[in-house]
Structure 1
Amino acid sequence: MKHPVDVHVGKRVRHRRWMVGMTQQQLAEKVGIKFQQIQKYETGMNRVSASRLWDIAAALSVPVSFFFEGLESKPDADTEGALPGDILADKEALELVRSYYAIPDNQRRRLFELARVLSDVA
């Protein structure tokens, strides 16, 4: 049975790997393991040892604590109209965030203001 912490850590590994544009194969090579093991970590099927998590954090340029962020603040139940607890697990949302930060600062600020106005109307 998968432990919720292992699933959470795996999702955070996948999230960060995707955000930096790295494939499972590339991460596996940096860490010195096979890509199938990365797949198992990302699904929570296998637990990540402390030393392996340290290596993964270094390869993805984040502190080890990154993988545990959000564990204490998990909502007990979703409320209608609320965002899902793991919105960044959605590939479309991640792609939107990556695209957003690729926009030059001045244009990005204007887009942010537009999105804010549109969301207030909805």
Structure 2
Amino acid sequence: MKHEVDVHVGKRIRHRRWMNGTTQQQLAEAVGIKFQQIQKYETGMNRVSASRLWDIAHVLGVPVSFFFDGLDSDTQTTPKAGDLPGDIMTDKEALDLLRSYYAIPENQRRRLFDLARVLSEAAA
């Protein structure tokens, strides 16, 4: 049976790996395991040991605490208008948008951000 903490940590591993543009194979090789084990970690099927999580954090360039961020806020609440989906960092479209956004040069990215803010305020 999957434990909610293992699922959360796995999602955060997948999110960071995806944001870095790292494949499961590349991450697995860097920490000395098979890519199938990374798959099991990312789905929460297998728990990640402390030492393995330390290695994964090092390879992905984040502190170990990154994988636990947002864990306390995972409890379900009644959504309000304008709220983000409960787990936006696992939404492929949102991650794709974020990656594309950071690929834009900074001065253009700032203008796009300002435009998005104006449009969201107009839609409210």
2:64, 2:93 → 1: CA distance? Answer: 26
Instruction: Report the Cα offset of residue 74 of structure 1.
Output: 2.4
1:1-122 alignment to 2 at 5 Å?
1-81=1-81, 82-122=83-123
Could you say what secondary structure the match of 1:73 adopts?
A: helix
Instruction: Report the Cα offset of residue 76 of structure 1.
Output: 2.6
Q: Which moves more between the two structures, 82-91 or 70-79?
A: 70-79
Could you say what secondary structure the match of 1:2 adopts?
A: coil
- Call closer, same or farther: CA 1:10–1:120 in 2, change over 3 Å: same
2:120, 2:23 → 1: CA distance? Answer: 34
**Identity rate, percent:** 78
Q: Does the CA contact (< 8 Å) of 1:15 and 1:88 recur in 2? A: yes
2:75, 2:47 → 1: CA distance? Answer: 23
Letter in 2 for 1:7: V
Question: Deviation per CA, 1:35-91, whole angstroms, max 9, x where unpaired?
Answer: 000000000000000000001001101100000000112243241432112101011
Q: Does the CA contact (< 8 Å) of 1:78 and 1:84 recur in 2? A: no
Instruction: Report the Cα offset of residue 6 of structure 1.
Output: 0.3
The alignment's TM-score, normalised by the length of structure 1, stands at: 0.96
Instruction: Report the Cα offset of residue 107 of structure 1.
Output: 0.7
The alignment's TM-score, normalised by the length of structure 2, stands at: 0.94
2:70, 2:7 → 1: CA distance? Answer: 12
